[in-house]
Amino acid sequence: MNYLEALILGIIQGLTEFLPVSSSGHLEIGKAILGVEAKDSLTFTVAVHGATVLSTIVVFWKEIVQLIKGVFQFQWNTETQYVSKIAVSLIPIAIIGVFFKEQVETLFDGNILLVGFMLLLTGLLLSFTYFSKSNVRSINFKDAFIIGLTQAIAVLPGLSRSGTTIATGLMLGNSRDEVAKFSFLMVLVPIIGANLVDLVGSDLSSDQSISTTALAIGFVAAFIFGLLACKLMIDLVKRSKLIYFAIYCFLIGSIAIGYSLFFV
């Protein structure tokens, strides 16, 4: 992987991790266009995902600190309840990670046709948010579990995790501010956990497919553009502007399907 490829893939990861257009789907499309097998470089994957985790922490650092302080009061307060809801939302993705990790990984093999159809599904889900009413109801434990189920389903390449979870939360009647915050905070543990598993189970020092400079370029690009995308997404959810991403997903999904049928 050269410097330009690392930069492009880092930007793609940073932007699409938070915008509701599927980071996994766009990375598969990006790798197909560039002719790069980025999935073979575990070091790069860990780095760019770590960068997007860092950008989330930077955006929500006040909320995270408040939650930690509240939990360590060892009371059933608002913060402890919120963290408990996040824990409930993680049950489905934990089951997927423990029992179906290998099966999921086989889906990330450049299957552009699957990516195309999942992008169409993402567009459909985002379209529903256009008609959802603005509510002020907070997320309860039932909502947290249902949103967690959709996060688990969104491991499919092309199905946007943020788009799916936010659309689900809005259709359940939760407030836009609450859904956006919950969607981004609930993903921290799965990403960090997956990266730790990869770090423990693999010898990253033996990965010679990417240089340190290219790795740094990818990390910085993913962090900067992830930071921008995270802030932008929060604002867009509040202003009910996700319909434009639905149109984008329909367009890119259709192109991906056409490409896979006629050029692959």
Supply the Cα-derived Rg of the chain in whole angstroms: 18
Only one residue has tokens 């996700």, namely: 242
User: Residue 109 has what pLDDT?
Assistant: 66
Residue 207 CB neighbours (<10 A): 16
User: Residue 136 has what pLDDT?
Assistant: 73
CA quadruple 165, 66, 138, 80: dihedral positive or negative?
Answer: positive
User: Residue 110 has what pLDDT?
Assistant: 64
Determine the Cα–Cα distance for residues 161 and 152; give it in Å rounded to an integer: 8
The DSSP bridge partners found for residue 137 are 174
User: Residue 241 has what pLDDT?
Assistant: 76
Which of 19, 165, 38 lies closest to 108, judged by CA? 38
User: Residue 40 has what pLDDT?
Assistant: 46
User: Residue 71 has what pLDDT?
Assistant: 94
Determine the Cα–Cα distance for residues 92 and 97; give it in Å rounded to an integer: 9
| Domain ranges for the chain | 3-262
Determine the Cα–Cα distance for residues 132 and 245; give it in Å rounded to an integer: 16
pLDDT mean values, one per 10 residues, the chain (264 residues): 82 84 72 62 74 90 93 93 95 85 70 86 88 76 95 86 89 87 88 71 56 86 91 82 87 89 75
User: Residue 203 has what pLDDT?
Assistant: 55
Contact between 131 and 202 under an 8 Å Cβ cutoff? The reply is: no
User: Residue 199 has what pLDDT?
Assistant: 63
